[in-house]
Amino acid sequence: MAKIMLNDMEFITKHGACPHEYEFDQKFKVDVFMYTDCVLEAGATDDLSLTINYADAYDVVADIMYGDHVDLLETLAFRIGTDLLNTYAVIDKVKVEVRKMQPPITGFNGTAAVEVTIKR
């Protein structure tokens, strides 16, 4: 098994449970790890149609990140994972991490993140 990764995808959008998070954009980063066996055949044949087109996979992620407002990082991660599994039958397992780069926590200077792993 191999994995295809999209790392540090950055989105400026509105998500979060606090009232001001409905009004003001903030930065999110997303990592996606798609586990599949299709890489072996695609690599041997150099045939893009046999693997996951990561430009198209990015579009799946972007549609969710720029879509309807949600309160929870958990919701974003779950939707991204399930949409990727529904889009690509060759994915056996997907791991998604969504990070809020400046969460509204007084005195906190780190990121808040949720990671989900979804298997078929």
Mean pLDDT within 48-68: 96
The pLDDT > 70 percentage for the chain reads 100
Segment 2-20, tens digit of pLDDT: 999 999 999 999 999 988 8
State how far the Cα of 97 lies from the Cα of 31, in Å rounded to an integer.
5
Mean pLDDT within 53-81: 98
State how far the Cα of 37 lies from the Cα of 21, in Å rounded to an integer.
40
Q: Domain coordinates of the chain in residue numbers?
A: 2-119
Mean pLDDT within 27-47: 94
**pLDDT of amino acid 107:** 92
State how far the Cα of 88 lies from the Cα of 80, in Å rounded to an integer.
12
Q: Label residue 45 by pLDDT band (50, 70, 90).
A: very high
Q: Label residue 40 by pLDDT band (50, 70, 90).
A: confident
State how far the Cα of 38 lies from the Cα of 92, in Å rounded to an integer.
10
Q: Label residue 118 by pLDDT band (50, 70, 90).
A: very high
- Just give the CATH number of 2-119: 3.30.1130.10
